[in-house]
Amino acid sequence: MVYLKLFLTAVFWGGTFIAGRTVVQELGPYSAAFLRFLLASLLLGFLTIRREKRLPGIDRRQIVPIILLGLTGVFLYNVFFFSGLRLIHAGRAALIIANNPIFITLLSAIFLKERLSPLRALGVLLSVSGAIVVISRGSPASLFQGGFGWGEAAILGCVGSWGTYTLIGRHVINRLSPLTAVTAASLVGTILLLPPALGEGLLRQVSGMTGVGILCLLYLAICGTVIGFVWYYEGVLQIGPTRAGLFINFVPVSAVIMAYLILGEPITPSLISGTLLVCTGVYLTNSRK
């Protein structure tokens, strides 16, 4: 059952790119991010109380790290995420974000002095090469000729903010449960997102949302955030972070397939080759052998 849940989690996370691409046709990036995490925070708070029988106390020393978690993993990541999806295809965005584990490995090697084995180094090289193939649409030389746009830059911002969030999270989770930490970070991020969302015209935009847009927003909050988080950490606890982390390889694959089936986005040779390179690179980076 745990393997099925991890596979479905990867599919849910792949679907967030399609849902996000739909939502940003109706909402601005700040409004979309605020509504997603307002709903997710309420559900995560309910789950935290139900599982831990109370709202856990937070030590004064943990306040600044939790604020940083909300700033990087919720506020910045989601503003970049929705801004990028306004400009580029969902499948391309998913392939770029699939480099999250690679960026985390590099940051860990630089700042935490974790050993970067030859196999992991090869994984980093393959994954970065795959991202370049996807970003450049199969023509790396175009990156030096204006082929790199704001959409790609925003999605790369997702990678940077998530890598920072993960490194900070390693410190916070030593003292708090993962569920408590992510609930607190979601609340902080929601609060930070409220002022710019109001300035963007949140109330006006919400009143004009279609049924499809509302369903996609609910999907982002429930399936992409709450269920995905809970099932993923259940997998980490039952089979370990290395084996659970390998299921992340299914995220870009499912995103590309769903973008083709639902949004009609083209599956090009560069997208296929980029997918293979990125997934192989992530696999090697997470492999112990």
Query: Tokens 């299914």 belong to which residue?
Result: 250
Compute the distance between CA of residue 7 and CA of residue 95 in angstroms, rounded to an integer.
17
**Cβ density class 47-62: b for 16+ within 10 Å, e for less:** ebeeeeeeeeebeeeb
Neighbours of 288 (CB within 10 A): 8
pLDDT in tens, 227-278: 988 888 777 777 766 667 667 777 888 888 898 889 898 888 888 888 888 8
Joined together, the tokens standing for residue 261 give 């089936």
Q: For residue 116, what pLDDT is reported?
A: 76
Domain-wise residue ranges, the chain:
2-53+60-286
- The per-residue pLDDT of the chain, averaged, comes to 84
With vertex at residue 201, the alpha carbon angle to CA 197 and CA 204, rounded to the nearest 5 degrees, is 125
DSSP label at 55?
-
pLDDT in tens, 183-200: 888 999 999 999 999 999
Helices 2-23, 228-239: inter-axial angle, 10-degree rounding: 150
Q: Which is nearest to 166 in space by CA: 93, 96, 241, 223? A: 241
* All residues at 6 or more sequence positions from 82 whose CB lies less than 8 Å from its CB, including other chains: 20, 23, 24, 27, 28, 29, 32, 33
